[in-house]
Amino acid sequence: MTFATPTGGTKTAPPLPQTRTAVQHKDRWRVPILDARDGGPADRLASRLSKCSPPTVFLSVILAGLAALAGISVALGLLVTNVLVNAWGIGGADERAEVWLAAHRSATRTDASLVGSILAGGVVLPIVAGLLVLALAALRHWRLAAFTIFALGVESGAYRITTLAVHRHRPEVARLESLPVNASYPSGHTAAAIAVYSGLVLLLTSRFRVRAFGVCAWTIAVALPAFVAIARLYRGMHHPLDVAGGLVIGVLALVVVVFACRTADAAAAAR
């Protein structure tokens, strides 16, 4: 674009700065759910932390979110162990569900439950998350890599803190695994499955907005953690209320990491 000068000549106008949205649309790896909304909570928080670098903002939100999530999880755990299991027959129903499952065990079902436990166990999930992080880091997609590793990290941290503060005896049935008997609440396998598998689907469906793909992906995102949860119940490792506690941790861990990514995005845009 050119315009006339007072001396009769012409001058080219400087290009207008690109907006955040324009820059985002040029990124084929853009995941909209991790983008901060102008004027939203993440954007406002980033403006208050304007003196901090985006990585510092991200870690600050992660730590604050972890502390809040751990507090919520511990409070729910104490409510379950000190109130709910002793009221309205909830504790008895929790135990009867486990007795029924134990009475209907079979070789095929036991093998299937082992697969469900392995899918969300302490070996498979770190490998899955680690491979994703390495691949994303090699491609220099740091925000996606941070989301992947911290989704599992926030979930694991909240789970560990909860088990230190809340002690519930595992179901009074023949258990198929040898784990500490006073660590029934919450179900860490259920929480981890949601944080990793459902978190991955959350990113994919945000990036690829095709209805058929979204339906299939979210069906898997719901079915896989449900399979893991049922497997843990079947193996006598948790009560239904313990699985519900794991569900809360897994979902809120994703909320924390999404908000941290959005706040870091707003901080980076401000710079």
**pLDDT tens figures, 156-190:** 999 999 999 999 999 999 999 998 999 999 999 99
- One-letter amino acid at 34 equals L
- The pLDDT, as a whole number, for residue 82 is 94
CB-CB contact of 241 with 86 (8 Å): no
- SS3 state of residue 238: coil
Token representation of residue 199: 């978190």
Kindly list the domain boundaries of the chain, sorted by start residue. Answer: 54-270
Sign of CA dihedral 185, 190, 196, 198: negative
- The pLDDT, as a whole number, for residue 22 is 44
Enumerate residue ranges in the chain where pLDDT < 50.
Answer: 3, 16-19, 21-25
- SS3 state of residue 175: coil
Residue 139: DSSP 8-state: T
- The pLDDT, as a whole number, for residue 18 is 47
Q: Which helix (H) or strand (E) holds 79?
A: helix 54-82
